[in-house]
């Protein structure tokens, strides 16, 4: 493993910019050691940032003082298993379920019958389930089969919400396509983590780039303003992440927490005004359940009254009564999502729970922390 660390370090040293940034990070870390006794904990919110950090071995070139923690940035990981169970059952009752590939193997609830344990299981037992790449793809499926009833499993954060909203506004969605809206909002979960999760202490936050392209970098200003935590909206290249870490350490040295938009080539302070407008026209914001976490205030989105005719739960008279039955015994995904634990702290990691046979939700998606770690040998140095 030391040989692997050395080879990764040498790769970064071939890039003069990366080498200089890493040297500056180590220099600032030495200064911080004289100012504090504990580690510097920096949370990267987005699953894609965690992939960049792990895949490119960024942890291996960090000083021991700097601890990079994965946060709640995987939408599939926090999607309620109750929704999966409902859709799996409906796939045998005359409805054709359309889902993203990431949610296809998402476990449902602990009490579900074997044919309802995931949409993949439902399909293997004869249920009607198809993987789609977008909501537009789902619309095309429904248009091709006007006599068939479809339900689209709308999973995601603010990045996927506008594409659904726009087609609804412009009346491009056929009547034989319903939507099970499992959308979740990102700033409220960060507010919840900082205000209500007492055993997670953060010194810096790397805020998501894709989400911020929609909602704007200013959406994260409450973190430094209200909580005094340096915050950087970051791009996804390794150099972006390194710059973001360096920026956070500089703020810690100066004892001045502020918001910095490192991803200026994509993210604007106000975000996408068009995307925000279509979202506001289509969705109502509600308190929502996050798998492994609980109910979080103003953190979910449902179709508003104008578009209620497309709401699968409303139209089928299904109430959200099964929340909380989706925490798999022994699984620590809830702690991992909140930054309380690492994947290697879970006794099921790469034993009962693997990428080929995911037991917990964090092992399913390509943005799930457990899945990312399982696919990289680098992490075993950090057990």
Segment 39-48 shows an average pLDDT of 96
In angstroms, what CA-CA distances link 121 with 87, 118, 187, 351, 360?
Answer: 12, 5, 33, 21, 15
Mean pLDDT of 70-74: 95
Share of the chain above pLDDT 70, in %: 96
**pLDDT per position as a tens digit, 73-110:** 999 999 999 999 999 999 999 999 999 999 999 999 88
What pLDDT does residue 383 have? 38
What does the pLDDT read at residue 110? 81
Residue 325: the pLDDT is 77
Instruction: Compute how many other C-beta atoms are within 10 angstroms of the C-beta atom of residue 24.
Output: 16
User: Is 184's pLDDT higher than 70?
Assistant: yes
What is the share, in percent, of the chain residues with pLDDT greater than 90?
A: 86
Q: Measure the CA–CA gap between 358 and 361, rounded to whole angstroms.
A: 7
pLDDT score at 320? 81
The candidate with the shortest Cα–Cα distance to 265, out of 206, 217, 329, 314, is 217
154 has which bridge partners?
Answer: 181
Instruction: Please state which of the ranges 46-50, 55-59, 112-116, 183-187 shows the lowest mean pLDDT.
Output: 112-116
- Residue range 322-340: mean pLDDT, rounded: 89
Q: Is there a contact between 207 and 320 (Cβ–Cβ < 8 Å)? A: no
Mean pLDDT for the stretch of residues 144-154: 98
- Banded pLDDT at 377 (limits 50, 70, 90): low
Residue 349: pLDDT over 70: yes
What is the CB-side half-sphere exposure of residue 180 using CA atoms within 13 A? 29
For residue 200, pLDDT beyond 70: yes
The predicted structure's pLDDT at residue 5: 64
Which of 275, 270, 272 shows the shortest CA–CA distance to 217? Answer: 270
Residue 323's pLDDT is: 77
Mean pLDDT along residues 219-236: 98
- Mean pLDDT, the chain, rounded, equals 93
User: What's the CATH superfamily of 81-186+271-315?
Assistant: HypD, alpha/beta domain 2 (3.40.50.11740)
DSSP reduced 3-state for 1: coil
Classify each residue of 179-212 as buried b or exposed e, where b means 16 or more C-beta atoms within 10 Å of its C-beta.
Answer: bbbbbbbbbbbbbbbbeeeeebebbbbbbbbbbb
Give the helix ranges, DSSP H, for the chain. 2-13, 16-33, 47-55, 81-90, 119-124, 135-144, 161-169, 186-196, 209-215, 222-227, 238-254, 273-282, 312-315, 333-337, 369-374
Give the SS3 label for residue 289.
strand
The pLDDT of 271-283, averaged and rounded, is: 98
Q: How confident is the model at residue 382, as a pLDDT?
A: 44
Residue boundaries of the structural domains of the chain: 81-186+271-315
Rounded to 5 degrees, φ, ψ at 226 are -90, -35
> Does 326 score more than 50 pLDDT?
yes
Checking if the pLDDT of 146 tops 80, the result is yes
Position 7 scores a pLDDT of 67
Residue 1 has pLDDT above 90, yes or no: no
Buried b or exposed e, range 266-300, using 16+ CB within 10 angstroms: ebeeebbeebbebbeebbebeebbbbbbeebeebb
pLDDT of residue 2: 56
Q: What is the pLDDT of residue 181?
A: 97
Confidence of residue 14 (pLDDT cuts 50, 70, 90): confident
For 128-139, write each residue's pLDDT tens digit.
999 999 999 999
**320 or 197, greater pLDDT:** 197
- pLDDT attached to residue 331: 95
> How confident is the model at residue 37, as a pLDDT?
82
- Would you say residue 36 has pLDDT above 90? no
* 8 Å CB contact between 381 and 60: yes
Whole-angstrom distance, CA of residue 368 vs CA of residue 220:
22
Q: How many CB atoms lie within 10 A of CB 253?
A: 14
């Amino acid at each position: 493993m030391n040989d692997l660390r050395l080879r990764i370090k040498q790769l970064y040293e071939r890039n003069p910019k990366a080498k200089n940034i890493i040297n500056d990070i180590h220099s600032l870390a030495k200064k911080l050691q004289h100012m504090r006794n504990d580690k510097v904990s920096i949370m990267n919110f987005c699953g894609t940032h965690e992939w960049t950090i792990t895949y490119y071995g960024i942890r291996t070139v960090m000083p021991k003082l700097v601890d990079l923690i994965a946060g709640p940035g995987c939408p599939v990981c926090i999607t309620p298993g109750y929704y999966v169970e409902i859709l799996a059952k409906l796939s045998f009752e005359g409805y054709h379920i359309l889902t993203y590939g990431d949610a296809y193997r998402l476990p449902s609830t602990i009490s579900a019958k074997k044919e309802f344990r995931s949409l993949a299981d439902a399909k293997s037992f004869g249920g009607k389930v198809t993987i789609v790449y977008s909501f537009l793809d789902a619309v095309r499926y429904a248009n091709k089969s006007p006599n068939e009833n479809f339900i689209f499993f709308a999973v995601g954060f603010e990045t996927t919400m506008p594409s659904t909203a726009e087609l609804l506004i412009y009346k491009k969605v056929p009547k034989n396509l319903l939507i099970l809206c499992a959308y979740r909002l990102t700033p409220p979960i960060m507010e919840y983590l900082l205000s209500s999760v007492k055993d997670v202490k953060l010194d810096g936050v790397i805020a998501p780039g894709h989400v911020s392209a929609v909602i704007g970098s200013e959406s994260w200003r409450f973190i430094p303003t209200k909580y005094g935590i340096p915050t950087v909206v970051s791009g996804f290249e390794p150099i972006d992440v390194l710059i973001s870490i360096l920026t956070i350490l500089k703020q810690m040295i100066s004892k001045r927490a502020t918001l910095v938009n490192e991803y200026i080539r994509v993210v604007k302070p106000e975000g996408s005004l068009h995307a925000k407008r279509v979202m506001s026209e289509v969705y109502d914001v509600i308190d929502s359940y996050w798998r492994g976490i609980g109910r979080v205030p103003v953190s979910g989105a449902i179709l508003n009254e104008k578009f209620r005719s497309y709401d699968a739960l409303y139209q089928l008279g299904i109430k959200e009564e099964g929340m909380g039955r989706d925490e798999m015994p022994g699984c620590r995904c809830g702690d991992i999502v909140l930054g309380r634990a690492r994947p290697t702290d879970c006794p099921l990691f790469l034993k009962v729970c693997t990428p080929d046979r995911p037991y917990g939700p964090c092992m399913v998606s390509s943005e799930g922390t457990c899945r990312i770690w399982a696919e990289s040998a680098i992490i075993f140095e950090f057990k």
